[in-house]
Chain A
Amino acid sequence: MLTFVDEETLRKVAEVVGSEDAIKVIEILKDSNEITDDEIANKTEIRLNTVRKILYKLYDHSLVSLRRSRDENTGWFIFHWKLQPDQLEGFILNQKRRVLEKLQTRLNYEKSHDFYYCHTPGCKRVPFEEAMELVFRCPTCTKPLMHFDNSKIIEILNKKVEQLRKELGE
């Protein structure tokens, strides 16, 4: 199937999967039909074991495919790697589903709890049940816990969940 993925997206996906090095590896894979890990290491000047780690990570997400052949002289296996751009769309959708699930969990939690907070930077807010047990004193700084309005967080979460649902066509 022919799919659309632009170069910027490709770069961002590489960033998500790995690091700066992953971007370089993807750039090389994009421009070649099939390439060995050794050739990638030479072209990018990234250490061979790092290149392999990145390739296996990409392989875990089906973003690259591999073919194995045997070196006639040494008898060792040679791995030939190929980018699978048609899998990128699926990868992006899976990641969006994963984030959506987490945001939905968080939204339900925010909606079903009342929070108390001492308004000290670095301290955590606590749900009502826990605040009761703590006699409304912050366990970290011992300042009194006041009711915390989480309507802004709920509003942002609602928007984001809605956006992701739309993008996923749910």
Chain B
Amino acid sequence: MDFLEKYELYACLQCGKCTGGCPVSLRAPLNIRSLMREVLMGGSPEVALECPGLWDCTTCATCTLRCPRGLEPSEVIVGLRGELVEQGNVPKTVIDALEGTFKHGNPWGKPRQKRTEWKGDMAVKVLPDEGEAEWLYFIGCAASYDPRLQGIPRILCRVLEAAGVSFGILGTKESCCGNEIRRMGEAGLFEELREENTKNFNASGAKAIFTMSPHCFNTFSTEYELDGFKVLHYTQLLADLIKEEKLTFSHEVNKKVVYHDPCFLGKQHEVFDPPREILRAIPGLELLEFERSRERSLCCEGGGGRMWAEGAGEGERNSETRVKDAHAMGAEIIATACPFCLLTLEDGAKTTGLEEKVLIREILELVAEAMGFDNV
């Protein structure tokens, strides 16, 4: 099957809903409607490979979700990046991320031996060597290695222990989920990661997996074939625990908090309510809503490999827009449930100079406050 058939480019109406909804089209040289047409007219992907905006796409999938013909423009971008990957012609930062993942199992190229560094001296069961558990907690690369994020899985472990959930981790055997790798166009490496992780999931003895990152959650739910495994994002698990009254909050968090929907959790999987249910359950917390929320949430630009590709976009970043919007509505905190959103929004808070006025927090960091955890 050739490229045009694979992505059904003949069926494109050129209606422009894709570009109209694209969160980067206003600030980057990327017009997905036009790009689809160019590939169709040129008869091969070759004509589009020089497009300077190819690495601006965040694969948020707004275009795909809104296409009236059911086409997948965001997948066309992934396909075009795939052509570049096979030619070897990709940005140096992307090469480093792909090679780092191939060698060390994470796009930051950090040593595998240090994958459990986030734990500190906390005791967390490694499956299957240290026993059995109902749930497998997939930490993800960002939270495993990024110093800003490493405390967050520790909070989740404490929360789950308090709620009596039986869980374990893969330890240093955990490898990158491959969600971003596939979206950077490295289909072969994605297949290898999927195979290795699936093998380790099966060997773990657990029957259900929860992730901290919506990106891992997405690929396990839709791109792995995990027969017999339940896959949840941690916000779904926590919202259920709150409903079952296994999780209660004792401390007030008297803040105005606006929730930012991550694309790979919200619009792509319609997990809109569980994160909000957790926030609403926190005493004292006033939950605000962005004008652009839920399926209309503004992408933070951290997905689709953008953590490792700067892109060609100019002007105000979406994360900066988001922080300014939050400040304008009187929010003191933007809460989110994605490691990439957390990092990009925090950058936005710094570059807009609103760092001290609008704090960026993972929902779990507010949960820790509400549970009265110290030293998190």
User: Do A and B interact with each other, yes or no?
Assistant: no
B-to-A contact residues, CB < 8 Å: none
